[in-house]
Copies of this chain bind each other. A is one copy, B any other.
Amino acid sequence: MDNYFMKEAICEALKAYELKEIPIGAVIVKNEEIVGRGYNLKETLKDATLHAEILAIKDACKNLGGWRLPGCTMYVTLEPCAMCAGALVNARVERLVIGTRDHKTGACGSILNIVQMQNLNHQITVEFGILGDECSNMLKRFFSELRKNKNIKYR
């Protein structure tokens, strides 16, 4: 089932791609059902907090009727940053399945590991590399196209 739900996260990422946003997507799953979805909308809505993961968490909180998301797994195409990793801990997400690593800002094992800090009150099981090549190639293609069109600047 992990591949199936990562495919759904990739579908979310492609919605960002179409808007010329960095293509990152996430879904949240409980009892084999998608309860939250999100894709990067930071540039479109001009809001630093609108990463795919935050939007998926907000969507899941709304659908499940509470701020705690126990028994939930997040599938996300790129390793979450510190903000999103902190949000996953705050929401008590149980498991995190990541497509590809973010060596610059990844906060789930790459530059730091917020989701498994023993001195926080919640730790998350993490798995890397589910459809990793697909997630990574989507990002590479996006940045390669971006370089061809140099009047758009990201990061």
Q: Which B residue's beta carbon lies closest to that of A90?
A: B48
Measured CB to CB, the closest approach of chain B to A121, in angstroms, equals: 7
The number of chain A residues touching the other chain, given as a range, is 35 or more
Q: Which B residue's beta carbon lies closest to that of A119?
A: B111
B81 engages A83 (CB within 8 Å): no
Most chain B beta-carbon neighbours within 10 Å: one of A48, A89, A105? A48
In Å, the complex CA distance between A68 and B104 comes to: 19
A48 engages B87 (CB within 8 Å): yes
In Å, the complex CA distance between A62 and B49 comes to: 11
B48 engages A67 (CB within 8 Å): yes
Q: List 8 A-B contacts (CB under 8 A).
A: A46-B61, A48-B91, A49-B54, A49-B91, A50-B67, A81-B90, A82-B107, A86-B107
With A48-B91, A82-B107 known, 17 other A-B pairs at CB within 8 A are A42-B67, A46-B61, A46-B67, A47-B61, A49-B57, A49-B90, A50-B67, A81-B86, A82-B86, A82-B120, A83-B85, A84-B86, A85-B86, A86-B107, A111-B117, A111-B119, A112-B117
